[in-house]
Amino acid sequence: MEPQRYNHGPIGRYRQVVQILARHGFGWLLAQLGLNRLAPLPWGVLGRFQTPPLPAQAEQLRLAIEELGVTYIKMGQILSTRSDLLPTEYVAELSRLQDSVPPEPLEVIQQQVEREFGAPPEEVFARFDPEPIGSASIGQVHSARLRSGEEVVVKVQRPGVDVLVEEDLAILMDLARLAAGRTIWGSVYDLPALVEEYATTLRGEMDYVREGQNADHFRRNFRGNPNLRVPAIFWQHTTRRVLTMERLDGIKISDLPGLEAAGIDRSELAERSATLVLKMILEDGFFHADPHPGNFLVLEDGSIGLLDYGIVGQIDEKTRLGLLHLLIGAASKDLDRVVDQLAVLGITVNSLQRERLRRDMGRLLSLYWGLPLKDVDVARILEELMTIVRRHQLQVPTNLAMLIKTSAMDEGLARSLDPEFSAAEVIKPYILRLAWERYLPQNWLKRLGPSFLDASQLMVDLPRRADRLLTGMENGSISINMHIQDTEHVLDVLTGLVNRLILAMLAGSFAVAIAMLIQTYYTVGFRWLIGLLLVVGLVLVAGLGLWLALKILRRGHH
């Protein structure tokens, strides 16, 4: 199947996106967004009311995304990391997205290289193989040799893909705003912000200079570590649309017969790969976020060659420390610490959610407390955690969601090498060592230095700030804004109290009026009327008094 080429303007592409969604059974969604008028009539009508079962719906979404092309494929791959947003069926289906399309003709690639370097490939390289060794939606990879003799691989971006991506990103942003304004699920999550984050990630992946910088960052982090090999980047032959890197030859980590034939200890390899990932996450805060088996090679010397640095994740020191404390809290059965650390990690938890969340976390962790480490399924725990997060509609930072998905994929990769692999057994000594190092004196001093500077600056600024505060209070220029939570409940209570007070005043006034009427008219001969008024008035006053007394007693009991 030849790759689709779009020569339409944005409106034509918009209509094409809508028609593909309608053809795959998402007319009901288009109707909610008010876009069904752009779909072909039969699909727009039939798809409006037919909502297929969740697994079938997830599969149709994957097929639609694959037909929509590069922007949506990359979005689907990123969404497959967001189990906090999507049901399990969608996450599993989107994880199957294939980013593989037929290669561009050689002359198209040659023209792209010439545009970037001002010369055809045969002049830039000593050899440039015409047959690609890999082809994806953004670019394709060719083997080559530099004139200095190094064997390299050259990744060349498809011409025009950047224009198509920007058109599609504009359409996605429009769809996100429509969903946020027209649907309940769209109003719960900040969809425009999610699309903006995705756009930043995709633009970064399309910038091959940034990918090369990511590779250099990993090389610095693992300098001197014999277990990981990062290919060198040849910057004189790299631009935003062409990336040239060292060629690594080895056995794919998913090629189990090949590993057996080479005499590789798969159990030891699984443990080494997991340790490398833990170093990326907990020590460096800079991790490879696309760990599918095709990006891992086992080299001749037994080291692991890591490929494709387009998608990476970053977590700061505060988040790494929060993860450390979260794991310690889970291991020590301290549920309050676990919930507190979720807030530290940027997962918003309000006071109403806290107790329910604490209960759900306790129910999850109780399934694993007391089990041997080899029986603790870390990937399953992470999956259940994301289910809880989704149930409570908590907002999870993108980098943390990416981290959780990456960790689960890495454990799956290790288990494919060794079915008896236990991530918990590898994590425990690593966590204990990091916790111990965290509280060594030299590390305390390292953190106390900036804190001492902050405290010193505060002591210098405090008198001046206090003087400004007092001056503002004296001249009335300071205003205090207060936000009272649950104001509707407070107002309801006050309204009830005022209403009862008014009724009590009316009852008292009515009693006084009856007494005055009796005194005035009893002496002039209207004794029968006075008797009637007295009976009616006493009944009303007694009824109001009894009702008020019951309300007051009930309120006092509550």
Extents of the domains making up the chain: 10-99+174-201, 100-159+207-247, 252-464, 497-557
Residue 558 has pLDDT above 50, yes or no: no
pLDDT reported for residue 432: 77
Rounded to an integer, the average pLDDT of 42-49 is 46
83 and 408 in contact (C-beta within 8 Å)?
no
- Among candidate residues 102, 290, 119, the one with its CA nearest the CA of residue 211: 290
Residue 69 has pLDDT above 80, yes or no: yes
pLDDT reported for residue 440: 56
Most confident among 53-57, 64-68, 411-415, 453-457 (mean pLDDT): 64-68
Instruction: Give Cα 314 distance to the centre of its chain.
Output: 13
Joined together, the tokens standing for residue 481 give 């804004």
* Distance in angstroms between the alpha carbons of the first and the last residue of the chain: 72
pLDDT reported for residue 508: 66
Catalytic position from the list 168, 207, 290, 360: 290
User: Can you tell me the distance from the alpha carbon of 195 to that of 172, in angstroms, rounded to the nearest whole number?
Assistant: 7
Joined together, the tokens standing for residue 221 give 């982090």
Segment 156-192, tens digit of pLDDT: 999 989 888 999 999 999 888 888 888 877 777 778 8
270 and 418 in contact (C-beta within 8 Å)?
yes
Segment 385-414, tens digit of pLDDT: 777 877 777 777 888 888 887 887 888 888
Share of the chain above pLDDT 70, in %: 73
Joined together, the tokens standing for residue 335 give 């549920």
155 and 128 in contact (C-beta within 8 Å)?
no
Residue 233 has pLDDT above 90, yes or no: yes
| Amino acid at site 393 | Q
pLDDT reported for residue 49: 47
241 and 208 in contact (C-beta within 8 Å)?
yes
Residue 5 has pLDDT above 50, yes or no: no
User: Can you tell me the distance from the alpha carbon of 414 to that of 403, in angstroms, rounded to the nearest whole number?
Assistant: 16
- Among candidate residues 267, 222, 204, the one with its CA nearest the CA of residue 417: 267
Lowest mean pLDDT of 78-82, 220-224, 303-307, 419-423, name the range.
78-82
User: Can you tell me the distance from the alpha carbon of 492 to that of 53, in angstroms, rounded to the nearest whole number?
Assistant: 44
pLDDT reported for residue 1: 34
Q: Which residue has the tokens 């050899």?
A: 127
Joined together, the tokens standing for residue 167 give 């058109």
Q: Which residues pair with 245 in a beta bridge?
A: 153, 233
The residue with greater pLDDT, 36 or 122, is: 122
144 and 153 in contact (C-beta within 8 Å)?
yes
- Among candidate residues 170, 171, 162, 199, the one with its CA nearest the CA of residue 398: 199
| Amino acid at site 43 | W
Residue 90 has pLDDT above 90, yes or no: no
The residue with greater pLDDT, 97 or 446, is: 97
pLDDT reported for residue 392: 79
Joined together, the tokens standing for residue 273 give 């790969």
Rounded to an integer, the average pLDDT of 334-358 is 77
Please count the helices (runs of H) and the strands (runs of E) in the chain.
23, 11
pLDDT reported for residue 530: 61
Confidence of residue 283 (pLDDT cuts 50, 70, 90): confident
Give, in order, the Cα–Cα distances in Å from 85 to each of 188, 237, 444.
Answer: 10, 41, 38
CA dihedral 404, 410, 416, 417 (to 10 degrees): -150
Residue 459 has pLDDT above 70, yes or no: no
pLDDT reported for residue 2: 37
Segment 504-553, tens digit of pLDDT: 666 666 666 666 656 555 555 555 666 666 667 667 767 766 776 666 66
Lowest mean pLDDT of 72-86, 89-103, 472-486, name the range.
472-486
Alpha helix (H) residue ranges in 152-247: 161-182, 184-188, 191-206, 208-221
The residue with greater pLDDT, 470 or 342, is: 342
Rounded to an integer, the average pLDDT of 97-126 is 90
Burial of 236 (C-beta count, 10 Å sphere; 0-12/13-18/19+): exposed
Rounded to an integer, the average pLDDT of 130-135 is 91
The residue with greater pLDDT, 383 or 337, is: 337
Residue 44 has pLDDT above 50, yes or no: no
pLDDT reported for residue 509: 66
Confidence of residue 322 (pLDDT cuts 50, 70, 90): confident
The residue with greater pLDDT, 226 or 373, is: 226
User: Can you tell me the distance from the alpha carbon of 500 to that of 400, in angstroms, rounded to the nearest whole number?
Assistant: 53
Q: Which residues pair with 314 in a beta bridge?
A: 286
DSSP letters of 58-90? HHHHHHHHHHH-HHHHHHHHHHTT-TTTS-HHH
290 is catalytic: yes
3-state secondary structure 433-469: HHHHHHCCHHHHHHHHHHHHHHHHHHHHHHHHHHHHH
423 and 374 in contact (C-beta within 8 Å)?
no
**Average pLDDT value over all residues in the chain:** 79
User: Can you tell me the distance from the alpha carbon of 288 to that of 257, in angstroms, rounded to the nearest whole number?
Assistant: 26
The residue with greater pLDDT, 56 or 487, is: 56
Lowest mean pLDDT of 103-107, 192-196, 300-304, 464-468, name the range.
464-468
Residue 4 has pLDDT above 50, yes or no: no
Confidence of residue 217 (pLDDT cuts 50, 70, 90): very high
Superfamily per CATH, domain 100-159+207-247: Phosphorylase Kinase; domain 1 (3.30.200.20)
pLDDT reported for residue 8: 42
pLDDT reported for residue 12: 80
Give, in order, the Cα–Cα distances in Å from 108 to each of 10, 60, 121, 143, 297.
Answer: 24, 33, 12, 16, 30
Confidence of residue 108 (pLDDT cuts 50, 70, 90): very high
167 and 145 in contact (C-beta within 8 Å)?
no
User: Can you tell me the distance from the alpha carbon of 446 to that of 428, in angstroms, rounded to the nearest whole number?
Assistant: 25
pLDDT reported for residue 107: 94
Give, in order, the Cα–Cα distances in Å from 516 to each of 292, 506, 532, 541.
Answer: 93, 15, 15, 15
Rg of the Cα trace of the chain? Answer: 34
Residue 213 has pLDDT above 80, yes or no: yes
CA dihedral 549, 550, 551, 554 (to 10 degrees): 120
Confidence of residue 128 (pLDDT cuts 50, 70, 90): very high
Total residue length of the chain: 558
Residue 52 has pLDDT above 60, yes or no: no
Residue 486 has pLDDT above 60, yes or no: no
Residue 267 has pLDDT above 80, yes or no: yes
Share of the chain above pLDDT 90, in %: 22
